[in-house]
Amino acid sequence: MSGILVDSGGTLGVESSGVFKGVLVEDMITTVRRVKKSFIDVFIPELFFEDEDYPLTYIPLVNITLPLKKDQEVWVYFNQSNHRYPVFWKLADDFDESSGFLKDYEMPSDGSEVSFPSKEETLEVHQFSDDVWLINTNSYCVLYRGDQCVVLGDTDVHVNAKGTLNLKASTVKIEASSNIVFKSPKVDVN
């Protein structure tokens, strides 16, 4: 069966650097429900054979807000320079491969960017409809609706809004113990 989890006792893989384009074999919610962890099943034609086992691709928490669906093209890199540790990087639509950027691009391979999940398992996976589902673990909860998502983590909240993110309250109070990072091409203040 393709799309397996490779543990530390698995066969040593071939070293790799850079990024590779792959295609999702099934919806993320289906893979998460099956393996009870934050992984997707990505087939990479340049590296894998369809009739052979290949490792699942890890989704870092910041990227779990994306609606990852079957047949969608994605970019994957290999953590620790090893084919046993593929990590989701970004959607193929979000990157222009004709730019030549990929030719000399090398992702960090020392494991500092991504640490793989511990033995913590997903507690609940509920799919209410094709576009509405929930994933719950001991450290975060993810609620999807269509292309939009909210991740409630132990210390962080991530929101992926397709359109406008609206916040309306009588009082808004923002406190930051260190930095506030703000990126926007345009700011309107009324």
Residue-wise pLDDT for 8-57, tens only, equals 454 444 444 567 889 999 998 899 888 888 899 999 888 888 888 888 99
Statement to judge: residues 128 and 100 lie in one domain = no
State the Cα–Cα distance between residues 149 and 92, nearest whole angstrom: 19
Q: Is residue 189 a part of any domain in this protein?
A: no
Statement to judge: residues 92 and 58 lie in one domain = yes
Q: Is residue 172 a part of any domain in this protein?
A: no
Distances (CA, A) of 188 to 47, 161, 173, 184: 48, 19, 19, 10
Q: Is residue 93 a part of any domain in this protein?
A: yes
* Mean pLDDT, the chain, whole residue set: 75
Kindly report, residue by residue over 132-160, the tens digit of the pLDDT.
Answer: 888 888 888 888 888 788 888 888 888 88
Q: What is the mean pLDDT of the segment spanning 65-93?
A: 80
Q: Which domain holds residue 151?
A: 124-160
Instruction: Provide the pLDDT confidence category of residue 5 given band limits of 50, 70 and 90.
Output: very low
State the Cα–Cα distance between residues 44 and 48, nearest whole angstrom: 6
Rounded to 10 degrees, the C-alpha dihedral 141/42/102/49 comes to 160
Distances (CA, A) of 100 to 46, 90, 96, 97, 177: 18, 17, 9, 6, 40
Statement to judge: residues 50 and 98 lie in one domain = yes
Tokens of 57: 């691709």
Domains identified in the chain, total number? 2
pLDDT of residue 13: 44
Statement to judge: residues 23 and 100 lie in one domain = yes
